[in-house]
């Protein structure tokens, strides 16, 4: 009897590892293959470049994870990113103060998130529709504030934020890593994170378990706005201007990365580790295709294919479990 139990236990653990880390193993295999066959891929310079290229998606994926895990959706993030950049640039130019510019960008984006949250939680309007509408509104506002063209930034010390480096790594990478850590802790070790997953798992049961569902939803969307705003400001710093036409399709990139990382679109399931892997898979793929000079048009095909494969892979895994 005893060894029987141990064996099934071992089997269960093996299956558990596969379930938890399956995507990571896929990523690791992909990484090794690329490192072996794609020239320049596994160089310090390319690795730093890769990390920098995923930093934007990575930052916003942290909060998108919470949004999806709670069973909602946010398409407005790309608008928020743009609005924060433009607002920051305009206010900075008008006042000459970096602090005021950043604060304006953050305040504007947090407000967008807060409105999303209130409309979704209190007025019970579908998140997809709400954030789609908000996306149009925020894009529109960005064009209005910027008069339809890029707003150049005069204050050069602001560029340090996105272009400076610490210990050889560009600042955005440090910021992204810090956010991963912060949101990982929030998800696993705080009632905020656990309640988020519970709401996604079963909203009615969550309310009856004494979870303040509406309040948590509003917080989730407000933080989502805030972090998108921060990403937008960093982007503005890297591009030395606030650009109202940029970041088209960014929200879908973020959501794709989350889904690749095993976050359930119906809510209740998601890990930060998974999201990190999802972000890295997307970024690595793009990076390798760039190195191999694959034209952008074909890159879209590859991205779509990978996303479909990942979802099917996940389905098969769940059916087995």
The smaller minimum CB distance to another protein, of residues 73 and 158, is found at: 73
**Distance in Å, CB of 13 to another protein, minimum:** 10
Closest distance of CB 14 from another protein, Å? 13
Identify which of residues 253 and 314 has a Cβ nearer to another protein in the complex.
Answer: 314
* 124 vs 320 by CB, closer to another protein: 320
- Region of residue 267 (left: phi > 0; alpha: psi -120 to 50; beta: else): left
- Rounded least distance, CB 237 to another protein, Å: 32
Cβ 272 to another protein shortest distance, Å: 15
Residue 272, helix vs strand vs coil: helix
Q: Which is nearer to another protein, 71 or 85 (CB)?
A: 71
Environment class of residue 256 by beta-carbon count within 10 Å: exposed (0-12), middle (13-18) or buried (19+)? Answer: buried
Which residue in the block uniquely carries the two structure tokens 């850590």?
A: 181
The span from the CA of 226 to the CA of 182, in Å, is 14
Cβ of residue 208: shortest distance to another protein, in angstroms?
5
Q: Which residue, 189 or 292, has its beta carbon nearer to another protein?
A: 189
Give me the least distance between CB of 108 and another protein, in Å please: 27
Closer residue to another protein in complex, CB, 207/303: 207
Report CA-CA distances (Å) from 81 to 36, 52, 73, 126, 222.
Answer: 36, 17, 16, 22, 13
Both tokens assigned to 66: 């919470």
Long-range contacts of 31-38 (CB under 8 A, 24+ apart): 31/284, 34/284, 34/288, 38/288, 38/291, 38/292
Nearer to another protein, 31 or 192 (CB): 192
Distance in Å, CB of 125 to another protein, minimum: 19
- Backbone angle region of 124, left / alpha / beta, with phi > 0 → left and psi within -120 to 50 → alpha: left
Q: How many whole angstroms separate alpha carbon 44 and alpha carbon 190?
A: 36
DSSP codes joined into one string, 276-319: HHHHHHHHHHHHHHHHTT--HHHHHHHHHHHHHHHHHHHHHHHH
Q: Residue 152, SS3?
A: strand
Which residue, 22 or 212, is less far from another protein as judged by CB?
A: 212
Are the C-beta atoms of residues 62 and 87 closer than 8 Å to each other?
A: no
Q: What's the min distance (Å) between Cβ of 132 and another protein?
A: 23
Least separation in angstroms between residue 184's CB and another protein is 13
Which residues of this protein are in contact with another protein, per CB under 8 A?
8, 12, 188-192, 194-195, 197-198, 201-202, 204-212, 264, 268-269, 320
Q: Which two tokens stand for residue 237?
A: 């710093």
Nearer to another protein, 48 or 269 (CB): 269
CA 206 to chain centre: 25
């Amino acid at each position: 009897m005893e060894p029987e139990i141990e064996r099934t236990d071992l089997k269960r653990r093996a299956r558990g590892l596969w379930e938890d880390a399956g995507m990571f193993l896929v990523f690791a295999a992909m990484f090794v293959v690329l490192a072996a066959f794609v020239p320049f891929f596994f160089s310090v310079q390319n690795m730093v470049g890769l990390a920098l290229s995923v930093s934007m998606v990575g930052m916003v994926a942290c909060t998108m994870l919470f949004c999806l895990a709670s069973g909602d959706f946010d398409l407005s993030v790309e608008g928020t990113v743009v609005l924060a950049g433009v607002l920051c640039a305009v206010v900075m130019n008008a006042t000459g103060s970096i602090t005021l510019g950043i604060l304006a960008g953050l305040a504007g984006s947090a407000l967008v998130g807060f409105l999303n949250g209130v409309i979704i939680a209190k007025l019970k309007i579908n998140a997809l529709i709400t954030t789609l509408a908000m996306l149009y509104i925020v894009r529109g506002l960005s064009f209005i504030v910027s008069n339809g063209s890029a707003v150049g930034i005069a204050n050069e010390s602001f560029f340090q934020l996105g272009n400076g480096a610490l210990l050889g790594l560009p600042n955005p990478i440090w910021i992204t890593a810090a956010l991963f850590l912060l949101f990982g802790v929030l998800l696993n070790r705080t009632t905020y994170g656990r309640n988020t997953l519970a709401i996604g798992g079963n909203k009615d049961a969550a309310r009856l378990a004494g979870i303040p569902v509406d309040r948590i939803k509003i917080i989730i969307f407000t933080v989502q706005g805030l972090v998108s705003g921060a990403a937008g400001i960093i982007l503005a710093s890297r591009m030395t201007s606030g650009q109202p036409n940029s970041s088209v399709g960014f929200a879908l990139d973020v959501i794709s990365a989350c889904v690749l990382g095993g976050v359930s679109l119906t809510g209740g399931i998601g890990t930060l580790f998974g999201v990190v892997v999802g972000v890295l898979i997307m970024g690595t793929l793009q990076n390798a295709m760039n190195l191999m000079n694959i034209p952008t048009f074909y890159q879209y095909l590859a991205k779509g294919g990978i996303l479909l494969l990942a979802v099917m892979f996940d389905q098969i895994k769940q059916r087995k479990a």
